[in-house]
């Protein structure tokens, strides 16, 4: 090879190989053939003292493709835990490998007394076990599944990269300790005694990587201020460890003549600093991000040792390729992408020889610019104060708390008193840091939520940065081409959002629940229900599914939210939407209890228009789309006092959406009594092209009397896979089949998108 920086093209080839293997797995035999041929050709070139350009790239592409296959392959041994997934409850014995909040990973040993291999993720109500404990529990083993929405997070693959293919929910009554791990690292137990305040929990996160106790509210505040990277052990922490020891050793060795006269100060410092780096990684739990960061820092220190520090970009590429060879799924890790984007930005953008203060400002700015599109991709946030908070809060925590925490860690075997003293001093400083975090997060317009950039847009962003700072010839032509492509991209999205003449309705896969996005002609948007689990602190459907789906479609404004009724599987996903999107109107029947009242408080606080149900017009026409509110009657609250069947389900707000000759009926969770009443009230106006199955296909709904009037061609059933309620009921499916309805289910097909125009209606899933 004859490249100025030979590792860079090999790294790019290896990355593309891993990405290709992830997208299209299963062609290992072809990869082996290409590897043999290219290796043979390289040997021929080497033997004849010739240079080759394409062969090494082809070889590394094939190696990358092959390297990722163990994580994306669906071939498992017969005794793998994935083969025990099903509806039957099973007895499981295993050892806890890790835990985070209410979830822990178990290395399974036996299922029903049968020896097995593999890992599984367990969800419990209350965590009371630790790493290394052997536990016995019973539960239903389920294959991990995705919420299948366009642009949604691939949770199945994320877990597969951790070698976890199945999960189970276990009640506290059905799990017990068999054997306590007495070999567990006792410093963790020592730290558990320091308390459970915000500062104490952050200290545990910083020093031993335990983020399980950091509250969601505090985590969000760190996100808003742009310094959430501090909370998880990563390159920031590892570099502080390496830098602290490097400077300390430099101070000592510069006073020893032998090292000075033989120019060994820098080399000795680099060599010895590697040791505390890996001690810290080991003591902090050997997490994947810390190992990746350790490899990166180690290679940079070796570069100093070998006097290769003049080629930092090539060294960075070498570190990346070593990490990817060691663990190919690292490519898809957020921490990997952020770490290398940050370091690459520091190396790329000019800041050197500007003085300490100016250099610090420029480094912070470089990291902010370099990581911006990745942060938008995964977190949909831009913090306008991250620049300031990284200059103020990060040094407070990074250069005081972490070093003192490390001193406490190393003092623990010597003196519990001294170790505890350093912890207490760290807590005092952390409380100061938390004060600044809280103050910054509450500054008006401290941050904004953003749409999700596409991969093309991310590529154009980095191409623009490279063109500005590194392009030496035809710079303005290159920049002009990039801006032209970006303009075309923006025009495409603007047309789709604001000038499209079709009605689009997407039934979002939210698991057990309902949520539908309606995109009217000319950009008006409506959201009918938001899905939701019982407890948003365990999993927030609004934040993790609905919002991500909307941002992926470049939507930040919801003109109208309609809530059919205030059950958690329809309401809870709307909390995040109301808080983080520009919502203009909210329609509901006004009925609900504590959770609904909390949501209405948000509506009032945000100034969202919420008309009284009795005053809400029963018919609206918006950009050619007709919206009719068919049920309940205006006096349903008064009737509820007498007729006890009028519960929260039967009082669902029923809406009919019509565009041209196509119509959709959204009946919420009404059951037999309400179906009978709505027929008496609306009669032939119920007829619709598409029916959303009432109450997720429950046997108490979809009566023949009701269906005789709706006469749908298509039925949508929105529900969770293998849900607890066993929806849809077999009798309902039988009735739909008897009537030759086309049945589309979100648990089987994922999100279902309908497009309606003058030609009729089409759908895709």
pLDDT at 3 over 70: no
Digit-coded pLDDT (tens) for 196-224: 788 888 888 787 766 767 777 888 888 88
Give the closest residue to 562 by CA, choosing from 554, 571, 553.
571
The pLDDT score that the predictor gives to residue 753 is: 98
pLDDT for 102 beyond 80:
no
Between the alpha carbon of residue 566 and those of residues 278, 514, 591, 596, 679, the distances in Å are: 52, 12, 7, 6, 23
Burial class (CB in 10 A: 0-12, 13-18, 19+), 697: buried
Q: Residue 531's closest CA among 747, 221, 761?
A: 747
Mean pLDDT of the chain: 89
| 556: helix, strand or coil | coil
pLDDT tens profile 370-402: 889 998 999 898 888 887 888 788 788 877 888
Check pLDDT > 50 for residue 94. yes
Q: How confident is the model at residue 1 (pLDDT cuts 50, 70, 90)?
A: very low
Confidence label for 473 from pLDDT (cuts 50, 70 and 90): confident
For 112, the token pair is 């029903």
Share of the chain above pLDDT 90, in %: 54
What distance in Å separates the CA atoms of residue 236 and residue 243, rounded to the nearest whole number?
A: 10
Secondary structure of 311-353 as H, E, C letters: CHHHHHHHHHHHHHHHCHHHHHCHHHHHHHHHHHHHHHCCCCC
Task: Report pLDDT for 212.
Answer: 66
Look at residue 285 and tell me whether its pLDDT is greater than 90: no
Does residue 524 surpass a pLDDT of 70? yes
Between these two residues, 444 and 114, which has the higher pLDDT value?
Answer: 114
Instruction: Report pLDDT digits (tens) over 657-700.
Output: 999 999 999 999 999 999 999 999 998 899 999 999 999 999 99
Average pLDDT, integer, range 728-751: 97
Of 444 and 746, which is predicted with more confidence?
A: 746
User: Which tops the pLDDT comparison, 740 or 335?
Assistant: 740
Instruction: Look at residue 188 in the predicted model and tell me its pLDDT.
Output: 65
Task: State residue 351's pLDDT score.
Answer: 54
For 81-184, which CATH class? mainly beta
Average pLDDT (326-331) is 92
Higher pLDDT, residue 447 or 61: 61
What DSSP state is assigned to residue 762? E
Q: What is the pLDDT of residue 355?
A: 59
The whole-angstrom separation of Cα 370 and Cα 312 is 17
Give the pair of three-digit tokens for residue 660. 């041209």
The pLDDT value recorded for residue 202 is: 86
pLDDT at 2 over 80: no
pTM for the model: 0.88
Report d(CA 350, CA 550) in Å as an integer.
37
pLDDT of res. 350: 58
pLDDT band at 610 (very low <50, low <70, confident <90, very high): very high
The CATH number that domain 500-764 falls under is 3.60.15.10
CA distance 53 to 38: 11
């Amino acid at each position: 090879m004859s490249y100025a920086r030979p590792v860079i093209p090999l790294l790019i080839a290896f990355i593309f190989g891993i990405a290709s293997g992830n997208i299209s797995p299963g062609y290992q035999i072809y990869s082996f053939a290409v590897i043999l041929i290219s290796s043979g050709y390289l040997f021929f070139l080497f033997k004849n003292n010739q240079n080759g350009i394409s062969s090494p790239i082809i070889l590394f592409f094939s190696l990358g493709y092959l390297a990722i296959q163990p994580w994306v392959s669906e071939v498992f041994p017969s005794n793998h835990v994935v083969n025990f997934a099903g509806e039957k409850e099973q007895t499981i014995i295993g050892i806890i490998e890790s835990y985070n909040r209410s979830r822990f990973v178990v290395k399974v040993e036996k299922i029903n007394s049968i020896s097995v291999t593999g890992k599984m993720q367990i969800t419990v109500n209350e965590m009371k076990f630790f790493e290394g404990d052997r536990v016995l529990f019973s539960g239903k083993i389920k294959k991990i599944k995705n919420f299948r929405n366009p642009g949604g997070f691939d949770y199945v693959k994320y877990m597969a990269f951790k070698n976890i293919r199945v999960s189970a929910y276990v009640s506290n009554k059905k799990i017990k300790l068999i054997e306590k791990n007495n070999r567990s690292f006792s410093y963790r137990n020592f730290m558990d005694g320091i308390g459970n305040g915000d500062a104490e929990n952050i200290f545990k996160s910083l020093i031993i990587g335990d983020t399980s106790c950091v509250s969601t509210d505090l985590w969000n505040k760190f996100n808003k201020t742009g310094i959430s990277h501090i909370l998880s052990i990563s390159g920031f922490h590892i570099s502080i460890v390496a830098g602290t020891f490097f400077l300390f050793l430099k101070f000592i060795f510069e006073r020893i003549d032998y090292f000075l006269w033989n120019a060994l100060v820098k080399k000795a410092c680099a060599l010895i600093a590697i040791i505390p780096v890996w001690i810290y990684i080991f003591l902090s739990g050997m997490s994947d991000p810390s190992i990746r960061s350790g490899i990166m820092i180690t290679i940079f220190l070796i570069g100093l040792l070998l006097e290769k520090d003049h080629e930092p970009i090539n060294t960075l590429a070498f570190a990346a390729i070593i990490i990817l060879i060691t663990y190919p799924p690292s490519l898809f890790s957020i921490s990997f992408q952020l770490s290398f984007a940050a370091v690459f930005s520091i190396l790329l953008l000019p800041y050197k020889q500007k003085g300490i203060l100016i250099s610090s400002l420029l480094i912070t700015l470089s990291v902010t610019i370099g990581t911006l599109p990745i942060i938008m991709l995964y977190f949909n946030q831009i913090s306008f104060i991250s620049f300031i908070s990284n200059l103020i809060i990060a040094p407070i925590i990074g250069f005081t708390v972490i070093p003192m925490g490390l001193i406490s860690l190393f003092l623990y075997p010597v003196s519990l008193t001294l170790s505890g003293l350093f912890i207490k001093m760290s807590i005092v400083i952390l409380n100061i840091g938390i004060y600044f975090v809280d103050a910054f997060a509450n500054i008006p317009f401290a941050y904004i939520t953003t749409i999700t950039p596409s991969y093309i847009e991310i590529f154009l962003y980095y191409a623009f940065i490279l063109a500005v700072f590194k392009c030496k010839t035809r710079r303005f032509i290159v920049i002009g081409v990039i801006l032209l492509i970006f303009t075309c991209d923006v025009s495409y999205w603007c047309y789709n959002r604001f000038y499209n003449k079709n009605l689009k309705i997407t039934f979002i896969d939210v698991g057990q629940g309902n949520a539908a996005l309606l995109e009217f002609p000319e950009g008006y948007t409506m959201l009918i229900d938001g899905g939701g689990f019982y407890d948003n602190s365990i999993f927030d459907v609004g934040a993790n599914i609905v919002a991500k789906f909307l941002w992926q479609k470049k939507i930040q404004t919801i003109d109208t939210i309609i809530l059919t009724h205030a059950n958690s599987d329809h309401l809870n996903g709307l909390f995040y939407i109301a808080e983080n999107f520009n919502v203009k109107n909210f329609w509901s029947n006004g009925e609900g209890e504590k959770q609904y009242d909390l949501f209405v408080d948000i509506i009032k606080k945000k100034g969202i228009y919420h008309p009284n149900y009795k005053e809400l017009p029963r018919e609206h026409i918006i950009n050619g789309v007709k919206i009719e509110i068919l049920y309940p009657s205006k006096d349903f609250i008064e009737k509820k006092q007498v007729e006890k069947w009028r519960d929260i389900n039967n009082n669902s707000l029923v809406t009919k959406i019509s565009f041209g000759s196509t119509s959709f009926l959204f009946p919420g969770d009404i059951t037999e009594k309400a179906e009978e009443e709505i027929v008496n009230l609306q009669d032939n106006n119920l007829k619709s092209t598409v029916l959303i199955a009432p109450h997720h296909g429950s046997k108490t709904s979809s009566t023949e009397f009701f269906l005789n009037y709706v006469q749908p061609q298509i039925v949508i059933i929105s529900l969770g896979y293998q849900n607890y309620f066993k929806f849809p009921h077999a009798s309902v499916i039988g009735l739909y089949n008897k009537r030759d309805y086309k049945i589309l289910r979100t648990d089987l097909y994922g999100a279902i998108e309908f497009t309606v125009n003058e030609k009729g209606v089409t759908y895709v899933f």
